[in-house]
Amino acid sequence: MAGEPVKVYLYDLSQGMAKQMSMSLTGKQIDGIWHTSVVAYGQEFYFGQGILVDQPGTTHHGQPLEVIDMGMTFLPLEVFLEYIDSQRSVYTAEKYHLLDFNCNTFSNDVCQFLTGSSIPNHITDLPSEFLRTPFGQSLLPMIENMFGQSNLRSTTTPSTAPPSASGSTPALTPTPNADSLAMLQGVSSAALSGAPSSVSQQSVQKADNLASLDRSINAYTAVAVFFTSAGCPPCRVIKPEFEQLIKDKNQGTSSLRILGVIVDTSIAFDAGAKYQVRATPTFMFFHKGEKVSEFRGANHAELKSSVDLLLFTAYPPHPHRTLHLRQVCNATNAPILYDNIGKLDLITGKLLTYLKEDGIEMTEQQTKTLDTAKKVLIEKQGVLNMDDWQNLMTTLTEKLTTEHQFPLLDIFRSLVLTKDAGNFYTSNCAGIAHLMDTVQKEDAKGTETPKATWMMILRLACNLFTHHVLVTTYFTSHLASSHRQQLTQLLVTSLLAQDTQVRQTAASLAFNCSTTVMAERLQKEQNSGNGGDIGVAEQEDDDWQVEVISAVMDALVKETEQDITHRLLACIAKFLFLAPADSSLPDLLSALDITSVLDNKKKNAIISSTSVLELARDISMMVKKSVV
């Protein structure tokens, strides 16, 4: 019978960060944090949230970095499928562990079953090699926090740290920096996307001695300890309720909010002695290593209230979460996009006319690039070389007069919505930033940018927000590589334009900026459960937010159009909602007397619809709550 080819698809969970950072952090070159799958019988099999099957190359990991040929199998398909079914009870989401029992464990077992061969050692040996480095040991507690204790802990011994440039050997274990922690979070997120329930499954542990219990109490922010004993009937009754309650409190988060620890005092007698447990069941609750409360007895109501109180102590809610906000909490966080492609034949015809008027003749390659762009947008076919497109953009915008640029920009603002364009400009967006720089109310001759060109640059800027990584890295962050200054200047200039359509599009851009900040705050709130410590460093920049809100408030005072007013208010609300305790925004809005501004808008019927009125109410409530 004919054989069936077996291949291993190799992916890098770190998206290239391991290759860049590993030598400086570990002293070893690590080219990737490997995820593998097995492709056979026309399907891709992999382990994550149980055993999963997809069309080859269509999983959430994208395209493989490498395809490894494992040879041929001569087993019938029905035999293989029977084997896969038999392994589903072995490879469950609950058992997933980043180091010990992961996708590579599964791929290795499948390849041995099909071909008798193992996947390459450099893939399966990576966890133990990583843990033999001092840096690996420093990250181990965080990995175990996410996935549970590792079996490799007792079998790996850190190797000596590499000598420094001066020849001396560092004495200290390297401390994880922001970049390395970001890499770990990214790898964990990619891994957890295949095993989302692992956090709640690992949220209840057992401690068999005092040392183990004390380690848990001191390692986690919130810990609930259940002291039990053999032959205790009430303990057997309350135990499943305790386990389920702890798991429920951790459900839907990517980090452990509360750890439950079960201690059998008939085994861990030293723990019972230290904590003076005289009867079981006894429950004790710890916040940052300090006991905050305890009670005895199998009382489910008291257990639940004690756990809730502990969580409130450990993770106090943001003050805004205590308000009844009718619009802010339910508002969409999707950006406003200008995704109507328009009549490209007419747009292209207008561009060709302008090129002729300005005495510009395109090369054969430039004509081909423009035609391919039209085909990609209209027919959703073809592949556009983005380097060629950017060269075309640079050449034509330099040669075309400002008033003749808008047809080209109209095509560009539609093209930037595509995935290929997003990937390209995530690597190099200087060309887009340069376009933003060209918009000005008046140049040295007192001439402002023509409306049509101005509008297309604003719409282009709005459409960038379809690509989260691009915009949060290069246009709303304060990273050294960011072009936020150009975006901000474009926004500030446009908010006060004379033309209503320009102001409306500028208000959309301001709204989109606020969505990135709010999205990061909501994500961190969900992950940590801590409303008092939210925001991401690159987006949570108080000076920038003050600059944007100052411009928005200036525009709001002068604005008479209800739709524009609505967008400006939505922008303010999103920047304000869940703002950190040290944010200047509430004081700024109070100093600018936003309450009076809103009252005037109501009197003049600029704010009249129910949704806008409720949004104005929400803003006033948040400012009042935040200002001391």
**Active-site choice (61, 97, 103, 235):** 103
Residue 535 has pLDDT above 60, yes or no: no
35 is catalytic: yes
Indicate the domain borders of the chain.
4-164+172-191, 203-315, 317-322+336-475
Residue pLDDT, tens place only, 282-300:
999 999 999 999 999 999 9
Question: With bands split at pLDDT 50, 70 and 90, how would you rate the model's confidence at 78?
Answer: confident
Strand pairing category for 259-264 and 50-54 = unpaired
> Between helices 542-558 and 594-603, what is the axis angle to 10°?
30
**pLDDT (mean) for 601-614:** 90
Tell me the CATH number of domain 317-322+336-475, given options 3.40.630.20, 3.40.50.970, 1.25.10.10, 1.10.1040.10. 1.25.10.10
Q: Which residue has the higher pLDDT, 587 or 58?
A: 587
Can you give the pLDDT at residue 225? Answer: 97
Domain 4-164+172-191 matches domain 203-315 at the CATH topology level? no
Ranges 70-84, 455-469, 524-538, most confident: 455-469
Check residue 130 and give its pLDDT: 72
Residue 303 banded pLDDT, cuts 50, 70, 90: very high
Q: Which of 152-166, 219-233, 438-452 has the lowest mean pLDDT?
A: 152-166
Percent of the residues in the chain that have a pLDDT greater than 70, as a whole number:
83
pLDDT of residue 254: 55
pLDDT bucket at 183, cuts 50 / 70 / 90: low
Other Cβ atoms closer than 10 A to 435: 20
> Of 229 and 153, which is predicted with more confidence?
229
For residue 158, what are the contacts with CB-CB under 8 A and spacing of at least 6? 131, 132, 133, 134, 136, 137, 173
Q: What is the CATH number of domain 203-315?
A: 3.40.30.10
More confident residue, 278 or 252: 278
24 C-beta neighbours (distance < 10 Å), count: 13
The reported pLDDT for the residue numbered 397 is 94
For the domain bounded by 4-164+172-191, which CATH number is listed?
Answer: 3.90.1720.30
Q: Round the average pLDDT of the chain to a whole number and report it.
A: 85
pLDDT of 167 strictly over 50:
no
Enter the tokens of residue 520. Answer: 């990061």
Which has the minimum average pLDDT: 141-150, 449-458, 462-471?
A: 141-150
User: Is 103 an active-site residue?
Assistant: yes
Summarize the confidence of residues 33-53 as an average pLDDT: 85
Side-chain half-sphere exposure of 417, counting CA atoms within 13 A: 19
What span, in angstroms and rounded, lies between the C-alpha atoms of 370 and 381?
14
Task: Return the pLDDT at 544.
Answer: 95
Task: Give the integer Cα–Cα distance in Å for 575 and 550.
Answer: 12
Q: How confident is the model at residue 166 (pLDDT cuts 50, 70, 90)?
A: very low
Residue 284, class by beta-carbon neighbours within 10 Å (0-12 exposed, 13-18 middle, 19+ buried)?
buried
- Which of 350-354, 522-526, 622-626 is predicted most confidently? 350-354
Which range of 213-227, 246-260, 566-580 scores highest in mean pLDDT? It is 566-580
pTM (predicted TM-score): 0.63
Q: Which among 6, 8, 42, 10 has a CA at the least distance from the CA of 114?
A: 6
Question: Is residue 353 helix, strand or coil?
Answer: helix
Cis ω on the peptide bond leading into residue 281 (within 30° of 0)? yes
Q: Of residues 35, 61, 318, 320, which has the active-site annotation? A: 35
Strands 34-40 and 43-48: antiparallel
> What pLDDT was estimated at residue 428?
85
According to the model, what pLDDT value does residue 200 have? Answer: 52
